[in-house]
Amino acid sequence: MKIIKSALLAAGAAASLGIVAAPAAAQQNTTGMPTVPIEVWALRDVVNAVQVSPDGKHVLVHVVESKEGEYLLKIYKTEDMSKPFRVLNADPMEIISASWVSDRYIFGSAWQQNRSKVNGPEQGTYDYAGYAYDLKTNKFRKIDGNFGIANRLPNDPENIIVETGTAIPDPSGVDPFEAFRPRSYYKVNLARGTRSLVLKGSEKYPTAQFDDEGNPRWTVGYDQGTKEAITYYRKPGEGSWTELMRYDQDKHENLYRTLSGFMGLAGFDPDNPSIGYVIDNRGEDKAALWEFNFDTGQFGEKLAGTDQADIMGIRTSSMPGDESLVGAIYPWDKYRTIWFDEGEKALYDALEAQIPNAHQVSITSRSNDGGTMIVSNRGPRDPGSYWLVRNGTMTKLGSRNPLIQPEQLADVEFIRYPSRDGKLTIPAYFMRPKGEGPYPLIVRHNGGPHVNGVVGYDEWDQMLVNAGYAVLRPQNRISTGWGQKHFDAGYGEHGLAMQDDKDDGALYLIEKGLVDPDRVAFMGWSYGGYSALVAASRSPNIYQCVIAGAAVSDPEKSYKQRRSPYSPKAIDDWAQRRGMIGINPINEVSKVNVPILMVHGDVDARVLYFHYEDYKDAIEKAGIQDAQFLTLKGADHFYTTLMFEHQQQFYTKMFDFLKNDCGPGGL
């Protein structure tokens, strides 16, 4: 393949976005401010998605063209990528997703922020609608409701299966009750815009996974009588569920199956509908990929596993219509693949050799004849790029942030260090700025805590490193992907041993001479915000200041609001141990001994705004002076709702705080 350097979708980005890109920095930055302007970091992802149609004739691009603008859907003809064939919007709503489901139809979702108040947990301020766009007639059909695609039904070009509540899939997977909330599944006719019920979730069978023919094949429910989680399966065409296995949800050692988010059915053998692929740990510490026989209800061969990390997913053939298993994915320095197919491996090796700064490469879509594909890359030196491969050539179409250059970014180093109790080795990701250490360090943690946090490209991390700070991202105990022992060690340890794991990472780098012990701060969002507030009241304290974003400041109050009647006892016990039992920051305010910056969106539906208001009141009543507060008006919890103005406001305040108010003399 030959790379053709092209700025097709990025052409004139600096001009159209009204921002002047800064030259790449070549020397150590000691100013405490990023050399790349804050307004560049504050952009929403410029190009958010790119896909080629199944016939290879058209490419859709989900793109925003101005700082405060909304996303547009552009459609290009692959034979002429110089100008769009169609430019579409959903005014007064905004298109937030788009996906080819046939040569003729695109399905996606749109949203509109219609309220200024959150009425309760997960009751956000946005309204959603699905849509089917007909390329032939150039018309939209609206499908009222909050839907995501459950199966594209590749052999039925006019229909798809959708599921309720998934227009924006939860990027964190941290809600312990989500798996037990029943969903409904509909077949949507794309030509007419109509929907018909396929399967209605119940308490016993809350969700389902479908095969490409539209058959429900797998579900996990909960038996209130026996207090067991029960896995069921179906063979194609069957109208009832068959029990596979059950495990006691009153036992916390079984929580990893439920909360890991990746154990269960991963796919099917396209040549034998009686064979499936299941990820499960089956009594071992690390989850592996297993063959499963639907006829006998028995597990077969272990297909892939490692002694260092869990298998977390699979790769299937990049050829449309071919669901052959080609690889198994596990976390390490990046998400790595155990390959089963040499041809597919050779294709990925060739793509990685051609794409500059290749890191996490994926084929996001491919034409039915295999001749045209869209390839994405994302990693430490690439915010996210999209490439068109056609007629033996590779063309760069655009970037999530075309104004940032590779030399302005930092590499990510995968490290491991011992926990202080000697029970674990903690994986972590370390980024250092240009120049020689010891560096000022910011320990970072975002949502979860039970998520896998492999770091490829993280905008906040890179922005901090660009400003001269080193960044550490620990995978503290309870993080998933590193085995059940690593997860179970975090049970009931919120604010305790889980916090020690983060502190120990900073101390490890100090011992290595890489970090200045008098210049260490903590920054986190969501659960990471909780951790920041815990860090603020620790003694002795290794941090000079903390930044707490969307912080769970009163987990006891949150638990009482969110407790679900569907939840098994072990999950309920686990939820209580997120702070109702253990460290609750709002009860620790009198112990705060370092400066705090607290940031929160006022329409946050995941971590409600009362967490910010109540903690602010407690700080003021305690007479603590070194605390600052910032409200992001109209912002919800997740990155997708942080608009340009939110990010610009937040980043400006953050760097001012770090430079001037973080401990004596600033960080």
* Angle at 390 (CA atoms; ends 271, 140), nearest 5 degrees: 80
d(CA 643, CA 96): 13
| Distance from C-alpha of 150 to C-alpha of 162, rounded to nearest angstrom | 5
The owner of tokens 């920095």 is: 25
Nearest-angstrom CA–CA distance, 298 and 20: 61
Q: Is 121:562 a contact under the CB 8 Å cutoff?
A: yes
Secondary structure class of 34 (helix, strand, coil): coil
| 387: nearest Cα among 79, 59, 98, 135 | 59
DSSP assignment of 105-144 equals EEEEEEEEE--S---STT--SEEEEEEEEETTTTEEEEEE
Q: Judging by DSSP bridges, how do beta strands 596-601 and 545-549 pair with one another? A: parallel
| pLDDT given for residue 179 in this prediction | 64
Q: Which residues have C-beta within 8 Å of that of residue 621, sequence separation ≥ 6?
A: none
Q: Taking the chain (667 residues) in consecutive chunks of 10 residues, what is each chunk's mean pLDDT?
A: 42 58 71 94 96 97 95 96 95 95 96 94 92 96 92 93 83 59 92 93 88 90 79 88 84 85 90 92 96 92 97 96 95 98 97 97 96 98 97 94 97 98 97 95 90 94 98 96 96 93 98 97 96 96 98 92 76 80 92 98 96 98 96 95 96 97 91
For residue 467, the one-letter residue type is: A
Tokens of 530: 């909780």
97: Cβ contacts below 8 Å, ≥ 6 apart: 49, 62, 108, 109, 167, 168
What is the C-alpha radius of gyration for the chain, rounded to an integer number of angstroms?
A: 25
Calculated CA dihedral for residues 280, 284, 286, 287, nearest 10 degrees: -10
| Coil, helix or strand at residue 226 | coil
What pLDDT does residue 16 have? 62
Q: Which helix (H) or strand (E) holds 518?
A: strand 515-525
* C-alpha pair distances (Å), 449 with each of 480, 579, 625: 9, 12, 30
Please give the pLDDT value at position 177.
Answer: 61
Helix, strand or coil, per DSSP, at residue 103: coil
Residue 199: its pLDDT value, please?
A: 92
Helix, strand, coil tally for the chain in percent (to 5):
20, 35, 45
Burial group, residue 79, by CB count within 10 angstroms (0-12, 13-18, 19+) = exposed
The pLDDT score that the predictor gives to residue 10 is 46
pLDDT at 28: 80
